[in-house]
Amino acid sequence: MAKAPSETIYVLNGPNLNLLGIREPEKYGSFTLADVERLCAETAAQYGLKADCRQSNHEGELVDIIHEAHNKKAAGIVINAAAYSHTSIALHDAIKGVNIPTVEVHITNVHARESFRHHSFTAMAAFASLTGFGIEGYRLAISGLAAKIGAKSKNP
């Protein structure tokens, strides 16, 4: 039986994250997007939640998915908007517009990288932002989101 919409969190990954495991492994590691999605599903399940994982290289599609999360009454959003974090007012506005608890996550520490990565429009719309923990940041983001929405761990 599928989880009720209120038990669903959306995990959104932006441009080039489909290349995880291939792209710059010295920065992003050897884990793939499938590994990230498995980690998210397992972590969400620990809180009685379902992770609906999506990836798109297209800004408008990510905006549409955020609107879908609202229409389906999602409990929360974890977003790694990748390069769009630093450029997309549209994603900022979508997150603000739907008023769903949102956590931004980045695999690398964007503040230790190029200066153009030091500003994030998505972070400004989220209640929290995690950077630099590798893919473990997704687990931390889901745990933080679960705490924010009052979901309790099913593991003692």
| Residues noted as catalytic | 28, 106
The alpha helices in the chain, defined as continuous H runs, are 25-28, 33-45, 59-71, 89-98, 121-125, 136-149
Is the distance from CB of 81 to CB of 56 less than 8 angstroms? no
Among residues 74, 36, 70, the alpha carbon closest in space to that of 53 is found at: 36
Q: Which residues contact 113 (CB under 8 A, 6 or more apart)?
A: none
Strand, coil or helix: what is 112?
helix
